Amino acid sequence: MATGKAAVLDRPMGTFHIEEFRVPDPAPGTVLLRQELAGCCATDAHTYLGQWPADFPVILGHENVGIVEAIGSGGALDFLGREVRVGDRVIARTGCCGTCYECRVAHQPRRCRNLRVRYGFSRAQDAPLSGGYGQYLYLSAPQTTFMLKIDARPSIAALHEPLGVAAHAVRRAQPKLGSTVVVQGSGAIGLFTLGLARLAGATRAIVVGGPGERLELAQAFGADVTFNIDELRTPEERIRAVLAETPGGLGADVVYGCVGKAAAWTEGVHYLRDGDGRFLEVGLAGDDGQIPFNPATQLVAKNATFIGALGMAEEDSLAAVRVIESKRLPLEQVVSHQLPLERVADAITALNGDYRLDGRTAIKVAIAPNGSVP
């Protein structure tokens, strides 16, 4: 009987244990993947801290790419209706039914009403090999909400999920030709939002973030100006610097909040120009607490539009894959670390800390359950 290892988190703020599970023979219509990479997401880090709902113990990991190992009787089709064969490379998201209102319309799979699953994470006993931090990933409906064949090497294909989140953010805020955008945060979501906003037509782009290595990569993704929060240490300094780089010093047409810290939201509102400016928050997926808000001065007086973006729609996932295959963004520079299952805890610690791992800045960390890949 074949078995596969997975990293199981026992509780919030707990311990990752390497456990062995039976690898099932695929049931009709299901697919078994041999995992290549699973990207480490802020959602994983929030779940570890207890800020994201999950039924513990869980196998984390929802940014998945792997090779089809076996297919159940009757065959399988990807999201575009193409036949999937053994040996194909596919990307896959798991963890919600994909049919209820919350999944399909509200784009809030963490509130899926049909499964004891939360955005890719399920109880290890109820659905073994259901998360990406394992050697195998069992794609069984209704837990598989998106599967697509892809023509890209795994270290790039693994970026499909955060690219889809960024595509959703860019689509909702609608930067136009000639727009000035400000991106708060230079992690994967910030970099991808920046790059896609430029592809969508934004003419000028400003990034506020850090550390320095991430800001260097932001320039490759299209930033005209970057500001390092380690050098400009107060919000007042950063606000003055950002406004000075916008046309006429008036502020940005669109501000994207990609930090994941509530305090950054208040600062970002000051970057926004008066009159039809749009602020889109995509980074605050986990509850980081409350902040003061004055609707008269921060909303009405600025005639602003505030938008929240969680997850993505299928059209955003498809847009992300098309961007990957177009090779129009420097995605090959993003995955900075590939770690084995035994080091999942190190990855989560870096995401919840200073983004330093093995003596260098982590741009994007991925788990390689079966060994490093190109």
Q: Summarize pLDDT for 303-360 with one digit per residue, the tens.
A: 999 999 988 888 999 999 999 999 999 999 999 999 999 999 999 999 999 899 999 9
Cβ atoms < 10 Å from Cβ of 171: 18
- Quote the longest CA-to-CA distance of the chain: 68
Predicted local confidence at residue 286, as pLDDT: 73
- Asked if the bond preceding 57 is cis, omega within 30° of 0, the reply is yes
Q: What is the location of CATH 3.40.50.720 in the chain?
A: 167-308
Overall CATH class of domain 167-308: alpha beta
Predicted local confidence at residue 106, as pLDDT: 67
Whole-angstrom distance, CA of residue 7 vs CA of residue 128:
11
pLDDT tens readout for residues 270-284: 999 999 899 999 988
Q: Answer whether residue 260 shows pLDDT above 80.
A: yes
Predicted local confidence at residue 49, as pLDDT: 92
Query: Per mean pLDDT, which range of 258-262, 270-274, 294-298 is the poorest?
Result: 258-262
Do 137 and 35 touch, CB atoms closer than 8 A?
yes
Whole-angstrom distance, CA of residue 347 vs CA of residue 43:
13
Q: Would you give the DSSP letter of residue 42?
A: H
Residue with tokens 């196998």: 59
3-159+334-367 is classed CATH 3.90.180.10: yes
Cβ atoms < 10 Å from Cβ of 173: 24
Q: How far apart are the first and last CA of the chain?
A: 30
Cβ atoms < 10 Å from Cβ of 137: 30
Mean predicted confidence (pLDDT) in 52-67: 89
Q: Measure Cα distances from 366 to 7, 221, 245, 374 in Å.
A: 13, 20, 35, 12
Whole-angstrom distance, CA of residue 347 vs CA of residue 80:
33
pTM: 0.91
Residue with tokens 């069984």: 140
Predicted local confidence at residue 77, as pLDDT: 92
Q: Measure Cα distances from 82 to 75, 77, 88, 310 in Å.
A: 11, 5, 11, 28
pLDDT tens readout for residues 64-89: 999 999 999 999 999 999 999 999 99
Q: What is the location of CATH 3.90.180.10 in the chain?
A: 3-159+334-367
Mean pLDDT, all residues of the chain: 90
pLDDT tens readout for residues 108-165: 665 666 554 444 445 445 556 888 999 999 987 555 668 999 999 999 999 999 999 9
Whole-angstrom distance, CA of residue 335 vs CA of residue 354:
17
Q: Which two tokens stand for residue 280?
A: 């889109």
The backbone region for 51, taken as left when phi is positive above 0, alpha when psi lies in -120 to 50, beta otherwise, is alpha
Determine the 3-state secondary structure of 98 from DSSP: coil
Q: Which residues contact 294 (CB under 8 A, 6 or more apart)?
A: none
